[in-house]
Structure 1
Amino acid sequence: MKKTLSIIALSIIGFGLVSCKKESKETQSADSVTTDSVAAAPAVTDSSATLTTEAAAPVSNEPLTSIALSESNFDFGNIKKGDKVEHVYEVTNTGKNPLIISEVKPGCGCTAPDFTKEPIMPGKKGKITLHFDSANFDGNVQKYADVFANVEKSPIKLTFTANIQP
């Protein structure tokens, strides 16, 4: 009897974990059944969500500094579909500690970043270049990339817009 109950409980927990990944009304119903039936299921679900959140935002152990951007938004204007364009965002370390850009995460696969990898000393400048491939777009688009660095309000969002024409 205990063995049967254990198997049923594990099946329900397993079903709850699999269904968490789907976003539908049907899944929400299954999750609420899991929550009511097995007390341990929500704890497992919550801890996996926490791990995902922590992994998504790189944390720097470096001392904080401050940054100034030449601009945080750029407009490419009208470009032809299929054009590959790029823009360089200039960053200046306005703090007292070296500025370390640990990662630049674009919002989608159409944008590729390049950035200054070595520490940017106080008063010095670095660069973040965003390369955009317009092949899969039509009309007005707005894209972004998150810049993770040892600054207080990280990530910093860089954006650009373009009007893709045939």
Structure 2
Amino acid sequence: MKLCCSIFISVFLFVQCLHAQTPSSVISFEERTHEFGTVLEKNGKVTHAFVFKNNGKTPVVINDIRSDCGCIGKIISKDPVKPGEKGRVVITFDPEYKSGFFSKEIIVYSNNSQDYNRIWVQGNVTPAEHPVEEDYPYNFGNGIYLRLKVMAFGYMKPGETQQMQLHYANNTSKSINLTFTAKGKNPGLKFTNPGKLKPKQRSVMTFTFTMPDTKNDVLLSLYPTINGKQSKESLDIKVLNSNKRKASIAN
């Protein structure tokens, strides 16, 4: 709650501050938006220089450049730009751990931060393939990594049905067969085993759970079985009975 309030206050103050300033009538940029096109995450940062002209009668100094994204870097020349001359601001975009389309607004402040201009950079990030441990932190042995160790369905009432997805990866250079073996009964749980995985394959499977007619919480354990060899580590599924919670609150 405190974090939400802090974010709201920060945004409110930023908007209020912006309203207290005026769009610059002196500086004109040669382009407002730069299209980076396809950006490969593996190639690192991309940079572009926005060129502007001072159309006023007195020198202009760029005081600051701001963006709501920490992935934007900038270089500001503190030297005054004389009337009729050109200056530039250099914008750097960092695609690390980003994917897909991006469009970032940058606010350029001048005249002791009393005036501002808006410019944009945009493009599409093609993500790099990161080490499997970064996206699938749980090692279940024999080359199988999962994104979750515990699948928490939260509170459910009897008869209610929910779905959750489990991301998994084969980190070996060979094809393997992956199935999940339940320990004991698994009432209400349905899923389709992945079966054969290609070398280095990463994929996702769906678990569907229907809460049985019970007054208790549900805890299930599934064991990944790789090429017939069962893992010592279990994937745990936890479901809390909402009726049990209501009864506890009532008491």
TM-score normalised to structure 2 length: 0.41
Structure 1, gaps ≥5 residues long: 1-17, 25-47
What amino acid is aligned across from residue 41 of structure 2 in structure 1?
A: K
Contact 1:81–1:135 (CA under 8 A) maintained in structure 2: yes
* Bigger Cα Rg: 2
Q: In the aligned structure 2, how far is the partner of 1:97 from the partner of 1:118?
A: 13
2:53 counterpart residue number: 92
Q: In the aligned structure 1, how far is the partner of 2:69 from the partner of 2:53?
A: 26
2:75 counterpart residue number: 114
Q: Deviations over 1:97-153 (max 9, x none)?
A: 111111111221101111221111101111100011101211111112100112998
1:1-166 maps to which residues of 2 (within 5 A)? Answer: 21=5, 52=13, 56=17, 66-82=26-42, 83-150=44-111, 154-166=115-127
Q: Percent identity of the aligned residues?
A: 25
Q: In the aligned structure 2, how far is the partner of 1:118 from the partner of 1:129?
A: 14
Q: In the aligned structure 2, how far is the partner of 1:53 from the partner of 1:138?
A: 27
Q: In the aligned structure 1, how far is the partner of 2:96 from the partner of 2:6?
A: 30
Cα 1:22–1:111 change in 2 (3 A) is closer
> RMSD value over aligned CA atoms?
3.5
What amino acid is aligned across from residue 66 of structure 2 in structure 1?
A: K
Q: Which has the higher contact order (CA 8 A, sep 6+)?
A: 1
Q: Deviations over 1:54-93 (max 9, x none)?
A: 9955x89xxx861111101000001112421000000110
What amino acid is aligned across from residue 56 of structure 2 in structure 1?
A: G
Structure 2, gaps ≥5 residues long: 128-251
TM-score normalised to structure 1 length: 0.61
Structure number with higher helix proportion? 1
Structure number with higher strand proportion? 2
